[in-house]
């Protein structure tokens, strides 16, 4: 009897072990990508709230999907079958609704063959969740396509199959997009599976602050080269009113930048993180500043200097440094005004008596600067002295602009020539100061 009991217990243990092994094998298969109905056994539709995309990394790879789509349309590459590529990434429902075939797909999107650039301006997402995580994601995008100086706002739905690591693109009408955004909590989304068609595979790479600075710079430069009005609209409203006052003045500024336009590459950047936004400060090889203040990915306002409206970062630094450093920061500000060809701002910070004695008009000051500086200038502080509350600083100025503004009558200038300016400054309250310099 005892032996029978032992045999029964042993048999039960064997059965339990076999069940555990079978269950383990089942789980391993599912974790290795099995997309059977058991894995995708989730409700056919779900209602989930629409959220604004918060992560720059996600923004970058979704934005890149749309940019690739337009590149497949507009650019020939011997390694790419353009018709196959465009057709492969389109949503199957969209293909059916519009009678698109691989043979006619490039003609269907023919107006984009001359496209210059694309940027996503707003991005929202909805997710369908599964037992082990996210199965499907819907990305709703509002973007702008720039074509030979013209703008077109387009609305797209990017579907991402997180299990198969694939995606599809569907174009929406503006009213469809707006309805979804405005009533997002009541929009039902259906689960889906997207087959791998080679061109619709997802490749995600790490996104750095450098990448974001570069993306912002490219976005602004693309707007500036294709549609000046769009670029003007990117500027912080308070800043653009104070700095330019009108679109016409901004157009003049754009024309003044023509000689270096397209050559700008940022060489330094700084990221300041605040509670409600991130500030990307980019500096190009000519010393120009681009201050992007971003609330969500690619939703930013832009300032082109730190003196028209002083940044909090500038104030904090200014308050914490020595008198000598304050003088140097102010002279840097003066030179930035010159480099921006913002001669009026530079003229306004000069001492009134000094102006009356040397430059009675803005044009006189402008002519002097063009005879004794370069188009873009680099500073090297040489000496610093203090007399009472007056600070004396000698500065060497060298070229960042390939010899622009050479004084041919004096025989000076050229990329190797060094100008010396001797500045006199008095510091005032509230970050203010007055400036003069030795006139030669």
Nearest to 260 by CA among 224, 310, 312: 224
Q: What is the pLDDT of residues 165-176, one digit of tens each?
A: 999 999 999 999
Contacts of 390 (CB under 8 A, 6+ apart): 424, 425, 426
Please state which CATH number belongs to domain 321-437. Answer: 3.10.450
What DSSP assignment string belongs to 145-210?
Answer: EEETTEEEEEEEEEEEETTTTEEEEEEE-HHHHHHHHHTGGG-EEE-------STTB-------HH
- List the beta bridge partners of residue 266: 284
Two structure tokens written together for 411: 């025989």
Please state which CATH number belongs to domain 209-313. Answer: 3.10.450
Q: What is the pLDDT of residues 196-208, one digit of tens each?
A: 999 999 988 889 9
Nearest to 230 by CA among 117, 114, 75: 117
What predicted TM-score, i.e. pTM, was given to this entire model?
A: 0.79
Q: What is the pLDDT of residues 311-342, one digit of tens each?
A: 888 899 999 999 999 999 999 999 999 999 89
Tens-digit pLDDT string for the chain (440 aa): 555 555 555 555 555 545 544 444 433 334 333 333 333 444 455 566 788 999 999 999 999 999 999 999 998 777 889 999 999 999 999 999 999 999 999 999 999 999 889 999 999 998 877 655 668 899 999 999 999 888 999 999 999 998 899 999 999 999 999 999 988 777 777 888 999 999 999 988 889 999 999 999 999 999 998 889 999 999 999 999 999 999 999 999 988 877 776 677 788 999 999 999 999 999 988 888 999 999 999 999 999 999 999 888 889 999 999 999 999 999 999 999 999 989 999 999 999 999 999 999 999 999 999 889 988 899 999 999 999 889 999 999 988 866 555 454 444 445 568 899 999 999 999 899 999 999 98
Contacts of 194 (CB under 8 A, 6+ apart): 159, 161, 164, 166, 167, 168, 200
Q: What are phi and psi of 398, to 5 degrees?
A: -120, 175
Angle 12-13-14 from CA coordinates, rounded to 5°: 90
Q: DSSP 3-state assignment of 354?
A: helix
What mean pLDDT, rounded, does the chain reach?
A: 85
């Amino acid at each position: 009897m005892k032996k029978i009991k032992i045999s029964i217990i042993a048999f039960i243990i064997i059965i339990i072990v076999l069940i555990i092994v079978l269950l383990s094998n089942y789980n391993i298969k599912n974790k290795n990508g099995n997309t059977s109905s058991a894995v995708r056994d989730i409700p056919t539709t779900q209602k989930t709230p629409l959220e604004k995309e918060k992560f720059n990394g996600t923004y970058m790879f979704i934005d890149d999907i749309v940019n690739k789509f337009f590149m497949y349309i507009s650019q020939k590459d011997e390694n790419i079958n353009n018709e196959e590529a465009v057709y492969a990434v389109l949503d199957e429902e969209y293909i059916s609704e519009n009678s698109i075939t691989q043979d006619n797909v490039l003609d269907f999107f023919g107006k984009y063959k001359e496209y210059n650039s694309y940027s996503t301006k707003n991005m929202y997402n909805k997710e369908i969740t599964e037992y082990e995580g996210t199965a499907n994601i819907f990305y709703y995008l509002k973007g702008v396509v720039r074509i030979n100086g013209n703008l077109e706002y387009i609305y797209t739905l990017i579907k991402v199959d997180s299990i198969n690591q694939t995606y599809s693109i569907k174009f929406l009408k503006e009213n469809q997009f707006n309805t979804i955004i405005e009533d997002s909590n009541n929009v039902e989304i259906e689960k889906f599976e997207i087959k791998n068609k080679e061109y619709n595979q997802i490749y995600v790479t790490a996104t750095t602050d450098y990448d974001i600075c570069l993306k912002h710079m490219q976005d602004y430069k693309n707007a500036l080269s294709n549609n000046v009005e769009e670029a003007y609209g990117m500027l912080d409203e308070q800043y653009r009113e104070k700095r330019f006052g009108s679109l016409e003045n901004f157009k003049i500024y754009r024309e003044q930048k023509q000689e270096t336009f397209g050559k700008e590459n940022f060489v330094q950047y700084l990221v300041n993180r605040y509670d409600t936004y991130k500030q990307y400060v980019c500096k190009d090889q000519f010393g120009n500043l681009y201050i992007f203040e971003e609330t969500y990915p690619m939703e930013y306002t832009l300032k082109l200097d730190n003196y028209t409206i002083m940044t909090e970062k500038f104030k904090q630094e200014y308050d914490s440094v020595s008198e000598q450093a304050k003088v140097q920061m102010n002279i840097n500000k003066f030179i930035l005004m010159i480099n921006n060809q913002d001669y009026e701002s530079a003229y306004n910070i000069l001492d009134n008596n000094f102006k009356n004695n040397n430059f009675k008009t803005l044009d006189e000051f402008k002519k002097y600067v063009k005879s004794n500086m370069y188009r873009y200038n680099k500073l090297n502080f040489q000496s610093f002295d203090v007399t009472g509350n007056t600070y004396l600083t000698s500065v060497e100025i060298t070229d960042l602009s390939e010899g622009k503004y050479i004084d041919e009558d004096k025989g000076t200038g050229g990329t190797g020539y060094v100008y010396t300016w001797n500045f006199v400054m008095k510091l005032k309250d509230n970050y203010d100061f007055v400036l003069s310099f030795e006139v030669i």
